[in-house]
Amino acid sequence: MRVVVTGAAGFIGSNIVKGLNQRGIDDIIAVDDLTQGDKFRNLADLRIADYVDLDLFYDLFAEGFFGKVEAVFHEGACSDTMEADGKYMMDNNYTLSCGLFKACQERGSRLLYASSAATYGGSQTFRESPQFEHPLNVYGYSKLLFDQRMRRECGEDFKRVKRQVAGFRYFNVYGPREQHKGRMASVAFHQFHQFRAEGKVKLFGEYGGYGPGEQKRDFVFVNDVVAVNLWFLDHPEQSGIFNLGTGRAQPFNDVAVAVVNALRSGTGTAPSDAGSAARQGLIEYVPFPDALRGKYQSFTQADLTVLRAAGCDHVFADVQSGVASYMASLA
């Protein structure tokens, strides 16, 4: 089986390559932009058939240069939610994706692509339906516009496509191979380094009606994201747009406590809860930044009804177990 992974040197893309390798699949065309050269580390321990720069790939794929490709995992995108250049964002996240969809349909390749929970923006309901889609930034809009395009091209029930098209609205993903993401890396990643450097982790204080560190997100371990992607690879009859989160919102305090307890394990210190960690100075609450006001989701929680209806019954890790596993890989 030959597959393509765009964004293959990125966070989720490289983990998908790893998951494919674990299945014995290594006929993989890895597509990315290695201008940020240290991203090569995400591919160095993986098996691929070829690497193609993204500036070359899309035209070559449309021309059939790579022969029969069973599926394209389209993870490549500008994922910086603070990026203000709308033209750059739309070129990367919308226009390229539209061309790739057309080429996949013409070439008989399945398309499994990354959408985002940012499509919901300020909504309090996270269900795959237009009335709940209110993006707060151009990143969220770029992802929503491609989802809308797929609804038009494929039909609301996604029955008009020749080959599988599945979009995944990723919630807050964390886990190994995100070290290159800078400010866009997960809160768990940043807290690991904060604790190592300062002996404490930092969280936003009160905002949006939530107390310090009590803003809630649906935090999903990257291994679970890979498992769901591969479930759809195994089920080519399932198309549509699907939330990919745990279905369980947890406060940022839970992440901080999981990080602190994981990094203090083995020292003979009893595990802390958020209150005791704050009193001990292990958690510090900082003022909410003005730059994020009105652009920040204080609550997200994936509605998994559509995913479960498709037959995917994957069991997701909670923050406590997922973050502990992640910390062990970083230590």
141 in catalytic set: no
Given 58, 94, 120, 139, the catalytic residue:
139
Q: What token pair was written down for 317?
A: 């890790």
Burial (CB count within 10 angstroms: exposed 0-12, middle 13-18, buried 19+), residue 183? exposed
Phi, psi of 240 (to 5 degrees): 140, -170
Facing residues of 271 across strands?
none
Rounded-to-10 torsion of CA 206, 208, 211, 214: -110
Is 143 known to be catalytic? no
Contacts of 306 (CB under 8 A, 6+ apart): 127, 128, 240, 241, 242, 243
- For the chain, count helices (H), then strands (E): 12, 13
Residues 6+ apart with CB under 8 A from 210: 216, 251, 298, 299
Half-sphere exposure of residue 89: CA atoms within 13 angstroms, side-chain side: 18
Alpha helices (H) in the chain, listed in sequence order: 11-22, 41-44, 54-62, 86-90, 96-107, 138-154, 187-198, 222-234, 252-264, 274-279, 305-309, 319-330
Between β-strands 216-217 and 250-251, what pairing exists: parallel, antiparallel or unpaired?
antiparallel
User: Angle between the 319-330 and 187-198 helix axes, to the nearest 10 degrees?
Assistant: 60
Q: Is 92 helix (H, G, I), strand (E, B) or coil?
A: helix
Burial of 313 (0-12, 13-18, 19+ CB in 10 A): exposed
Give the residue numbers annotated as catalytic, written as ranges: 139, 181
